[in-house]
């Protein structure tokens, strides 16, 4: 089995069904314990008596095949692998399988992998091992392996979430050299096209249907090529006063994009509540944006608690960014009081610079086209770097960060806090 990678164990797993055929009490207990794991909330876990023979009987009788089969066996001879081949004949293409066996046998492991088995696990089975193998099998079946989902959500309208989403996308593509896609969940309320300088060419619903239909050429035409490494879903043509895409369809669209792009960035400002919730639950990193005024800070405090209710790992997965500091100094919570007001230290404070941000949006140019803009984009890179291990070589970026004078240009007004 591969070394643990939290790509597979730090997100809410996709809606799916896992069927385990086993008799060993410890294996069954490890499997059942996953029902209380927040990551498996949308995974149906069916524990069934028997082994490969019973699984074959069930599928022969017309029972629907699960997304993942887990087969426990006491024998690992040729008769068992022959039965596995028979079982495979009744499984739809793409059904994943894990085998739990009694001994560590390298030759058997190689044979099973060659047959298309996801993994071979030796008894006794530990819960964390089983969780990792199931998560990896499900994500690889969906096709999201190796990708990183980044969500940006504002505590209130007008805090600059969309501008920072664009900045992070430019940073991932231009400075981290990652193939990146940026999309918006706001439907007809999206303003992403203004800052990114494109005309809306589709709706979220149409993009979702095209992705589900696997029409690659049509889907490519819905993507605006912002730079060599950055594409943007050119949505925004939705009717503003009608219900937009539902959360499940949006998630299916994400699954499609995560098969192609190592980095997927979602702007959740103005998105429907159900859509925000499902993206926040899945994201590898969440950037919560607020300004240092009382109303957005109160909303940020409440939202931090709600995210914590959704995700047990919210302390490590949510970055709080205070934007537009100094915009209304007399009415702002002081930097010294921000931590006590939020029960959390901000990851970053960005000073108000309307000429930079509004100029970039109004002219439809990328934020990092100027030296000031490059400094802002570079300052956001640490938020991305911590989740990109295994996706990109970050050593050159880290060295570049150290060599930069932290007091040059706008960086003198950007306070990154450890």
The yes-or-no verdict on residue 101 having pLDDT over 80 is yes
The yes-or-no verdict on residue 400 having pLDDT over 60 is no
The yes-or-no verdict on residue 210 having pLDDT over 50 is yes
- Within this chain, do residues 195 and 257 fall inside the same structural domain, yes or no? yes
pLDDT of residue 56: 94
Residues in contact with 29: Cβ distance below 8 Å, sequence separation at least 6, in sequence order: none
**How many whole angstroms separate alpha carbon 49 and alpha carbon 52?**
10
- Within this chain, do residues 183 and 306 fall inside the same structural domain, yes or no? yes
Q: What is the CATH number of the domain that holds 191?
A: 3.40.50.300
What letters, b where the CB count within 10 A reaches 16 and e where it falls short, cover 277-289? bbbbbbbbbbbbb
Residue with tokens 């994201």: 283
pLDDT of residue 312: 87
Gyration radius (Cα) of the chain, Å: 24
Going by their DSSP bridges, the two strands 230-233 and 223-225 should be labelled as antiparallel
- Within this chain, do residues 206 and 86 fall inside the same structural domain, yes or no? no
- Within this chain, do residues 293 and 358 fall inside the same structural domain, yes or no? yes
Residue 11, domain member (yes or no): no
The yes-or-no verdict on residue 4 having pLDDT over 80 is no
- Of the spans 103-112, 121-130, 138-147, 355-364, which averages the highest pLDDT? 121-130
| Alpha carbon distances (Å) from 393 to 175, 264, 385, 388, 397 | 12, 18, 10, 8, 8
**How many whole angstroms separate alpha carbon 182 and alpha carbon 159?**
19
119 forms beta bridges with: 98
Domain termination site, one of 111, 142, 173 = 142
> SS3 sequence, the chain?
CCCCCCCCCCCCCCCEEEEEECCCHHHHHHHHHHHHCHHHCCEEEEEECCCHHHHHHHHHCCCCCCCEEEEECCCCCHHHHHHHHHHHCCCCCCCEEEEEECCCCHHHHHHHHHHCCCEEEECCCCHHHHHHHHHHHHHHHHCCCCCEEEEEEECCCCCCHHHHHHHHHHHHHHHCCCCEEEEECCHHHCCHHHHHCCCCCCCHHHHHHHHHCCCHHHHHCCEEECCCCEEEECCCCCCCCCCCCCHHHHHHHHHHHCCCCCEEEEECCCCCHHHHHHHHHHCCEEEEEECCCHHHHHHHHHHHHHHHHHCCCHHHHEEEEEEEECCCHHHCCCHHHHHHHHCCCCCEEEECCHHHHHHHHHHCCCHHHCHHHHHHHHHHHHHHHCCCECCECCHHHHHHHHHCCCCCHHHHHEEECC
- Within this chain, do residues 137 and 155 fall inside the same structural domain, yes or no? no
Question: Which of the two residues, 117 and 8, has the higher pLDDT score?
Answer: 117
Question: Across all residues in the chain, what is the average pLDDT?
Answer: 85
Residue 187, domain member (yes or no): yes
- Greatest Cα pair distance, the chain, in angstroms, is 79
Residue 3, domain member (yes or no): no
153 forms beta bridges with: 288
**How many whole angstroms separate alpha carbon 68 and alpha carbon 98?**
8
**How many whole angstroms separate alpha carbon 149 and alpha carbon 37?**
21
Q: What is the CATH number of the domain that holds 94?
A: 3.40.50.2300
Centre a 10 Å sphere on the Cβ of residue 15 and count the other Cβ atoms it contains. 15
Residue 4, domain member (yes or no): no
Residue 303, domain member (yes or no): yes
**How many whole angstroms separate alpha carbon 307 and alpha carbon 276?**
11
pLDDT of residue 304: 95
- Within this chain, do residues 332 and 237 fall inside the same structural domain, yes or no? yes
pLDDT of residue 417: 31
Nearest Cα to Cα of residue 271 among 184, 336, 337, 346 = 184
pLDDT band for position 358 (50/70/90)?
Answer: confident
Residue 229, domain member (yes or no): yes
Q: With pLDDT > 90 as the criterion, what percentage of the chain qualifies?
A: 53
Residue 371, domain member (yes or no): yes
pLDDT band for position 8 (50/70/90)?
Answer: low
* Structural domain boundaries enclosing 49: 16-142
What is the mean pLDDT of the segment spanning 298-311? 94
pLDDT in tens, 27-60: 999 999 999 887 787 789 999 999 999 999 999 9
Residue 9, domain member (yes or no): no
Domain termination site, one of 88, 114, 142 = 142
- Within this chain, do residues 326 and 240 fall inside the same structural domain, yes or no? yes
The yes-or-no verdict on residue 325 having pLDDT over 50 is yes
- Within this chain, do residues 60 and 188 fall inside the same structural domain, yes or no? no
- Within this chain, do residues 270 and 137 fall inside the same structural domain, yes or no? no
Domain termination site, one of 84, 109, 142 = 142
What is the mean pLDDT of the segment spanning 395-413? 38
What's the pTM? 0.67
Centre a 10 Å sphere on the Cβ of residue 131 and count the other Cβ atoms it contains. 21
pLDDT of residue 396: 45
The yes-or-no verdict on residue 218 having pLDDT over 70 is yes
- Within this chain, do residues 269 and 318 fall inside the same structural domain, yes or no? yes
The domain tally of the chain equals 2
Least confident of 141-150, 233-242, 334-343: 141-150
pLDDT in tens, 257-300: 887 788 999 999 999 999 999 999 999 999 999 999 999 999 99
- Within this chain, do residues 331 and 363 fall inside the same structural domain, yes or no? yes
Centre a 10 Å sphere on the Cβ of residue 336 and count the other Cβ atoms it contains. 7
- Within this chain, do residues 206 and 66 fall inside the same structural domain, yes or no? no
pLDDT of residue 290: 96
């Amino acid at each position: 089995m591969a070394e643990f990678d939290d790509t597979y164990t730090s997100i809410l797993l996709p809606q799916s069904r896992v069927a385990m055929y086993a008799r060993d009490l410890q294996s069954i207990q490890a499997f059942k314990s996953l029902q209380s794991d927040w990551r498996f909330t949308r995974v149906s876990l069916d524990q069934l008596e028997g082994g490969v023979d019973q699984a074959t009987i069930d599928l022969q009788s017309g029972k629907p095949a699960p997304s993942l089969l887990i087969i426990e066996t006491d024998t690992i001879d040729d008769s068992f692998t022959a039965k596995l081949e028979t079982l495979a004949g009744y499984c739809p293409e793409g059904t994943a399988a894990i085998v739990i066996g009694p001994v560590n046998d390298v030759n058997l492991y190689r044979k099973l992998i060659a047959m298309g088995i996801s993994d071979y696990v030796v008894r006794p089975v530990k819960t964390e091992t089983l969780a990792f193998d199931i998560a990896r099998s499900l994500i690889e079946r969906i096709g999201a392996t190796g990708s990183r989902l980044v969500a940006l959500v504002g505590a209130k309208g007008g805090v600059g979430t969309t501008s920072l989403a664009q900045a992070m996308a430019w940073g991932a593509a231009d400075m981290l050299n990652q193939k990146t896609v940026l999309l918006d969940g706001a439907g007809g309320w999206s303003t992403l096209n203004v800052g990114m300088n494109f005309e809306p060419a589709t709706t979220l619903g149409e993009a979702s249907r095209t992705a589900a239909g696997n029409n690659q050429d049509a889907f490519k035409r819905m993507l605006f090529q912002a730079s060599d490494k950055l594409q943007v879903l050119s949505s925004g043509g939705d009717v503003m006063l009608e219900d937009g895409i539902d959360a499940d369809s949006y998630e299916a669209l994400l699954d499609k994009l995560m098969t192609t792009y190592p980095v997927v960035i979602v702007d959740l400002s103005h998105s429907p509540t159900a859509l925000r919730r499902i993206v926040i639950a899945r994201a590898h990193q969440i950037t919560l944006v607020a300004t240092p005024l009382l109303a957005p800070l109160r909303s940020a405090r409440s939202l931090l608690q709600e995210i914590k209710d959704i995700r047990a790992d919210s302390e490590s997965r949510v970055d709080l960014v205070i934007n537009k500091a100094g915009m209304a100094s007399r009415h702002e919570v002081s930097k010294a009081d921000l931590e006590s007001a939020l029960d959390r230290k901000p990851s970053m404070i960005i000073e108000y610079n309307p000429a930079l941000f509004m100029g970039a949006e109004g002219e439809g140019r990328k934020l990092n086209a100027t030296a000031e803009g490059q400094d802002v984009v570079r300052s956001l890179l640490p938020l991305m770097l911590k989740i990109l291990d295994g996706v990109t070589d970050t050593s050159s970026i880290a060295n570049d960060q150290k060599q930069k004078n932290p007091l040059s240009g706008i960086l003198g007004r950007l306070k990154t806090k450890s």
